Each structure stands twice: as C-alpha cells, then as structure tokens.
Amino acid sequence: MTIPPPWQNLRDAIESVWPVSRYRDVGVVVGCSGGADSVALLRGLVESVRHPAAAAPPGFIVAAHFNHQFRGRESDADADFVRQLTEQLAVPLEIQCGQAAEQDEQSARNHRREFFHAVMRRHGARYLALGHSRDDNVETVLYRLMRGTGPLGMAGIAPFRPFSDDPSGSDFVIARPMLDLGRDQIREALRSIDAPWREDASNQSNAYRRNWIRNELVPAMQSQFPQAVPAIARAIQGQRQWRDALQPVIDRWLAAVQIQEKPLTLRRLDRIGREAETDPTATPLGDQAVAVEALRRCWQRSGWPLRDMGQFHWTRVFEMLAGRGPDAWTLPGAIEIRRDSWAVTLVRRDG
C-alpha cells in the first residue's frame, strides 16, 4: 500500500527528531485529546513501532485521555472518539475525568499532568509523548515574551525534557517530536489518509490568553508578515542552541554559589572571592544573565511557581545576592527571601 506523501512527510519528520529505535523497546504514554495534533502523533508512533510487523517490539504504547468535562457532552464525545480510535489501533487506553468546576488553565494543566504521571508510573513507561506543534511553540514564546521572560524562556518548548526536576519524576521523559511541524501540515497529513479528528470549539474563545494569541495576535502578525510563524520558529531554534551552550555555565554558577537546596541557601556574590577577575576560565558569578537563569532552575527544582515571576523580580533577587537593596522581601508565590552577612535564604511561606 502506497503511503500518501503528506503522511509520509509527517512520519519522516517525527523519525528525524525521535528515531523509533529510541522508544521501540520501552513504554510510551501518548497524551491524546482527540485533536488533530495528538491523533497524528498517536497514529504515527503506532505505525512506526509496528513496522516491520515481523519483529514484534518488546515495548508498548498506551494512550491517555484526560476528560476535563469543561464542555459537557462535547467533552464526553471527545473521550468516546479517543476510545474508538484506540480500539481501531489496538492500543490500551486510560481515561480520567476532572472537575468541570475548575476551568482555569493552570488547574487544568496540573490535573492533566498528575494524571499522565500516574499512568506512566502504573505502566512503567519511560516516555510521555505530546503532540505540540511549531505553532504551539511560537504561541508559547509570544505568551512568555509578553509576561516578561528571560533568554531561556525564548528558547520555547524543549523537544525532550525530564518530566520533573523532582526525583519522583526525573526518570520519566516528555517527548514532543512534532515541534518542527506546522498545524496546517499536520491536518493535511491526516486528511491524506482519511483520518478524522475532533475540533475543540473552546479553542475559538478568547477567554484564555493563549487562545487570544492564537486567534487574534498571530493572524494580525501574519497579515503584515506572512512568514512570521516560521521566522519566529527559526529564532527559537537559535535560542535553543544558545540555551544548550549556557547550561554548563549555569551548572558551574550553582556549584559555586548554592550552599544547600532545602531551604534554598545561596552565597552572597559580594562575599565570594574575585577569581573571575583574574581567571579567564572562571564562571562569571556576577553576570546577571547567568545568575537569573540559574535562579530559574532553582525555582523549578523547588517546585515554586514561575508564572508571576517577571524580569523585575529576578533582577531584585540578583541585587539582593549582590548585596544591594533590602535585606528581606516577599516574592510572588509567597517566597520569602532573607539576606544575612554571608548568605541569602529563600523559603516558601506555606512550605
């Protein structure tokens, strides 16, 4: 049977980012909402892992669907669609229902994430595969930019990253192998094989900021710059390369500055020796850009909220580390920061 070119191109794009040899012998949980992106990802991975049919892989694929119940019957219809799809593909499915009353983006994301984590642990899976596209990546960067992100935030969504910096989630990996594929390209690929998907009508509502970016901001940009999305995607790739080059510098900064993780205690930069002034190979401890990105990593490891931490807050923390400004302050997320004669300590008030 001849594979239509759009579908073959999609499979080739996934293979180039995530070769089947990397997941064929381990467990993969695929988050499937029923939308085009996740349906294409599930179909593509199943076809790849089962080819050639003569060599049965020791690994497995499990689909996971979280029904938020935000849209009543429509949400239930999404779940039914995913159930029928997985039966057709002969893939096990896990479904969980959320609380329809909690409709804010952050709560929905947290509950879905907890569900995926539980499914991975239950099945002993190594990967969580998610169908984020190039458009999702661009929208994420625009969202972060307007909230005041730092350079690493401009690197967008990582194609591979640990599920969590917490030890309980560090053995699991989130894979997003479709970040180089456009949303329209994915839909064209599905049409070429007559594969249906579900459209979430709530995506048309601008009540959520990300939807406003998708429905209003990006089209307005494209009206003046038709190639805006691929252009931003190329910029993201450049930032990602810069981020990868910066990671060893951040590691050395933390090794020199962090005293302990719980409570998070950091040496005052104005109390550390001046090695960087005489040793050209030393980590620039007083470089604000490096310090801020190292602090972001501390936040992630501690499980503290990053949402409301803007560049103003990171700059204030850096100044306190450098011996300037007040000796005590409260940051978003109820993070209290205190400075003594040699160190700065950060503690979450409710933790």
Residues near 43 by beta carbon (within 8 Å), at least 6 away in sequence? 89, 190, 193, 195
Contact 134, 235 (CB under 8 A): no
Contact 43, 89 (CB under 8 A): yes
What span, in angstroms and rounded, lies between the C-alpha atoms of 304 and 333? 7
H helices within 195-227, ranges in order?
209-212, 218-224
* Beta strands 173-175 and 258-260, pairing class: unpaired
The 3-state DSSP class for residue 67 equals strand
- Within the chain, which residue ranges are assigned CATH 3.40.50.620? 5-132+176-226
Encoded tokens for 54: 């003569």
Contact 201, 34 (CB under 8 A): no
Residues near 94 by beta carbon (within 8 Å), at least 6 away in sequence? 62, 63, 64, 65, 119, 122
5-132+176-226 — its CATH code?
3.40.50.620
Q: How many residues does the chain have?
A: 351
Residues near 255 by beta carbon (within 8 Å), at least 6 away in sequence? none
User: What DSSP assignment string belongs to 102-131?
Assistant: --SHHHHHHHHHHHHHHHHHHHT-SEEE--
Q: What is the pLDDT of residue 273?
A: 65
Q: What is the pLDDT of residue 278?
A: 46
What span, in angstroms and rounded, lies between the C-alpha atoms of 198 and 27? 26
Residues near 59 by beta carbon (within 8 Å), at least 6 away in sequence? 23, 24, 25, 26, 27, 28, 49
Segments of the chain scoring below 70 in pLDDT:
1, 52-57, 100-104, 165-170, 273-283, 351
> Which residues sit opposite 174 in a β-bridge?
128, 161
List the binding residues for ATP: 33-38
Nearest to 332 by CA among 104, 311, 210, 345: 311
What span, in angstroms and rounded, lies between the C-alpha atoms of 69 and 85? 19
What span, in angstroms and rounded, lies between the C-alpha atoms of 322 and 256? 14
- Within the chain, which residue ranges are assigned CATH 1.20.59? 246-348
Residues near 149 by beta carbon (within 8 Å), at least 6 away in sequence? 141, 311
- Interval 102-131: pLDDT, tens: 556 777 788 899 999 999 999 999 999 999
The structural architecture, per CATH, of the domain 246-348 is: Up-down Bundle (1.20)
Q: What is the pLDDT of residue 335?
A: 94
Q: Alpha carbon 328 to chain centroid distance? A: 32
SS3 of the chain: helix, strand, coil, percent, to 5 = 50, 15, 35
Q: What is the pLDDT of residue 277?
A: 47
List the binding residues: 33-38
What span, in angstroms and rounded, lies between the C-alpha atoms of 49 and 91? 12
Q: What is the pLDDT of residue 280?
A: 47
Nearest to 130 by CA among 207, 17, 234: 17
Encoded tokens for 125: 């899976």
Q: Alpha carbon 347 to chain centroid distance? A: 25
Q: What is the pLDDT of residue 285?
A: 83
